[in-house]
Amino acid sequence: MARVVRFYQHGGPEVLRIESADIPPPGPGEVQIRVKALGLNRAEALLRSGTYIENPPLPSGLGLEAAGIVEAVGFGAEGFQPGDVVSVIPPISMVRWPAYGELATFPVEHIVRHPPSLDWGTAASVWMQYLTAYGALIEISKLHAGDFVVITAASSSVGIAAIQIANMVGATAIAVTRTSKKKAALFEVGAKHVIAAAEGDLGSRLTEIAGTVGVRVVLDAIGGPILGPLSSAMAKGGILIEYGGLSREPTLFPLFTVLSKMLTVRGYLVHEIVSHPSRLAAAKKFIIEGLSAGSLKPIIARTFRFDQIVEAHHFLESTEQIGKIVVTL
């Protein structure tokens, strides 16, 4: 028996329940870990509320990221043994492989030996944010030295990861946040410029910063009306990557700006990296090298105990955090 988190109906954080359950041993090609820490993601709040890309049968577990100690290894899951210290790359389906529990099982290809310098909370905060930012900026956009890159929702874990990756390759990171409340913190994590979108003209400010060169890459988690000023500040041939839809307002496509500047507008999910072995291997190498060198440093916003999972989800939905929310077991 082990404690797990489940929900029996869609709704707010209060629908989450901690209960004891029989956890089967890992199947072929799977590894089971004794979880020491969880990294929370907005996708988990969406699944819980019934607005995620998965539609689970109820009751359902949830959770995408964890770190812990290998408990058992299924047939054919080579490369690991009980006692190994590992972290988890988010699986394609958190319904099939939920992380929220004292014991959690994952496909062996999603298990990683992270740098030993990482504590449990930091190790549980690595893969979703850095894989998402890496895939968008490095693999797809080919971000390089001299580029201007705009990062919206910049205080999120993915936003901070994108800032750090931009600095690794010598690009200029322009962080966009809603108000000035988080400006100082974003400068501290490495943003070269910070713009409070609700306190001025975003397009004019971006043009002022990037000048005639223009913004070559935009990583946007918001959509909605912000798409207009973002595209207006972009360089010819630039690429705008949409990986979220936080805005509740309609997203009007800036057709004539896209045409006149020959822009690429691309939807992106981290699943396309995670589900492709060679792309995932390249991403893991980049991220582990960055972690080992200290160029990539997960920022922990706040840590909760496992029995505070409801409070942790309330904080997740508050948008007050800067960085990653961690739950320890």
Confidence of residue 303 (pLDDT cuts 50, 70, 90): very high
User: Residues 244, 172: one domain?
Assistant: yes
User: Residues 7, 112: one domain?
Assistant: yes
Residue 279 placed within a domain: no
**Residue 40: predicted pLDDT:** 97
**Sign of the C-alpha dihedral computed for residues 91, 96, 99 and 104 taken in this order:** negative
Q: What range does the domain containing 69 cover?
A: 2-126+298-328
Residue 324 placed within a domain: yes
**Residue 246: predicted pLDDT:** 86
Residue 43 placed within a domain: yes
**Residue 248: predicted pLDDT:** 86
Q: What are φ and ψ of residue 325, in 5° steps?
A: -100, 130
Considering the entire predicted model, what is its pTM?
Answer: 0.94
- The secondary structure of 150-210 as a DSSP string is EESSTTSHHHHHHHHHHHHHT-EEEEEESSGGGHHHHHHTT-SEEEEGGGS-HHHHHHHHH
Of 131, 178, 141, 138, nearest to 287 by C-alpha is 131
The tens digit of pLDDT for each residue in 71-122 reads: 999 999 999 999 999 999 999 999 999 999 999 999 999 999 999 999 999 9
Length of the chain: 329
Q: How many domains does the chain have?
A: 2
State the CATH number of the domain containing residue 39.
Answer: 3.90.180.10
The tens digit of pLDDT for each residue in 19-60 reads: 999 999 999 999 999 999 999 999 999 999 999 989 999 999
User: Residues 178, 262: one domain?
Assistant: yes
Cis peptide before 59 (omega within 30 of 0): yes
* Average pLDDT over all residues of the chain: 96
**Residue 247: predicted pLDDT:** 87
CA atoms within 13 A on the CB side of 8: 3
**Residue 320: predicted pLDDT:** 85
Range 43-47, long-range pairs (CB < 8 A, 24+ positions): 43/94, 44/94, 44/100, 44/313, 44/316, 45/13, 45/313, 45/316, 45/317, 47/94, 47/95
Residue 267 placed within a domain: yes
The tens digit of pLDDT for each residue in 146-185 reads: 999 999 999 999 999 999 999 999 999 999 999 999 999 9
Of 8, 37, 17, 7, nearest to 102 by C-alpha is 37
Cα distances from 305 to residues 15, 18, 24, 134, 309, in angstroms, run 17, 12, 25, 30, 7
State the CATH number of the domain containing residue 244.
Answer: 3.40.50.720
User: Residues 47, 179: one domain?
Assistant: no
Residue 262 placed within a domain: yes
Of 148, 35, 42, 157, nearest to 102 by C-alpha is 35
Residue 26 placed within a domain: yes
Residue 109 placed within a domain: yes
